[in-house]
Amino acid sequence: MKLVVFDIDGTLVDSRATIVACAREAFTAAGLPPPEADAIRHIVGLSLPEAMRVLLGRDDPGTAARIADHYREAFVARRHRPDHEDPLFPGAREVLDALAARGIRLGVATGKALRGLLSVLERHGLEDRFVTLQTADGHPSKPHPSMLFAAMAETGVEPRDTLFVGDTVFDIAMARAAEVLPVGVRWGNHPPEQLARAGAAHLLDRFADLLDLLPS
């Protein structure tokens, strides 16, 4: 493998509590009943407007857009709280360092907007770690493979030499559509059995297991 692309929320960063809180605040601000936490975790990985549309449960683009705006407001407010912390999952930093030391290029493909992604990377001191950043700003929502196609085009790497790591069925479906190796994690937003049914070639029990899939 020459390129490893990561999802962010639920894969590299444990942002589950933040996402659930912001989504519930957004629905409340829109005058709607807040969704249950399990329903919110199910839509993680989709781009924000699509995620809010799915949670809304009806085809109402205007209301979904309004909820998405409230979500952004809630997220920005939470991000600036002194006690806010979405930690890296155990072993993530060490594995990123090990992959870079092997000369493997690293990328991100996330349903976040670029501004939100850059904030996360800066908070964890990872701004210079990734050579390609693909976000919801310029691509269709997962599981469309556009983000992975762009990551491979930017780095000049073929699908056969690319691996994608994610925590949702949307991630696995995107990787399969792009014909790259789909790898799931057991600690994310979707249960591992769902990732297996979606076609994950491997499921990681811990981050260090990723190193066993790649040449040293």
* All domains of the chain in start order, with CATH: 3-14+87-212 (3.40.50.1000), 16-79 (1.10.150)
Does the pLDDT value for residue 200 go beyond 70? yes
| DSSP bridge partners of 3 | 105, 162
CB 24 within 8 Å of CB 127: no
DSSP string, the chain: --EEEE--BTTTB--HHHHHHHHHHHHHHTTSPPPPHHHHHHHBTB-HHHHHHHHHTS--HHHHHHHHHHHHHHHHHHHTSTT---PBPTTHHHHHHHHHHTT-EEEEE-SS-HHHHHHHHHHTT-TTT-SEEE-GGGSPPTTSTHHHHHHHHHHT--GGGEEEEESSHHHHHHHHHHTSEEEEETTSSS-HHHHHHHT-SEEESSTTHHHHTS--
Contacts of 210 (CB under 8 A, 6+ apart): 4, 95, 99, 165, 183, 204
User: What is the per-residue pLDDT for 84?
Assistant: 81
Active site residue 7: yes
179 φ/ψ sector (left φ>0, alpha ψ -120 to 50, else beta): left
pLDDT of residue 81: 85
**In this structure, which amino acid lies at residue 14?**
D
| From 7, 9, 167, 171, the catalytic residue | 7
Task: Quote the mean pLDDT of the chain.
Answer: 95
**Residue 153 above 90 pLDDT?**
yes
pTM above 0.85, yes or no: yes
At 69-104, the pLDDT tens digits run 999 999 999 888 888 889 999 999 999 999 999 999
pLDDT at 216: 67
Rounded to a whole number of angstroms, the CA Rg of the chain reads 17
pLDDT of residue 61 exceeding 70, the answer is yes
CB 167 within 8 Å of CB 187: yes
Q: What percent of the chain has pLDDT over 90?
A: 91
Q: How many percent of the chain have pLDDT more than 70?
A: 100
Give pLDDT tens digits for 8-32: 999 999 999 999 999 999 999 999 9
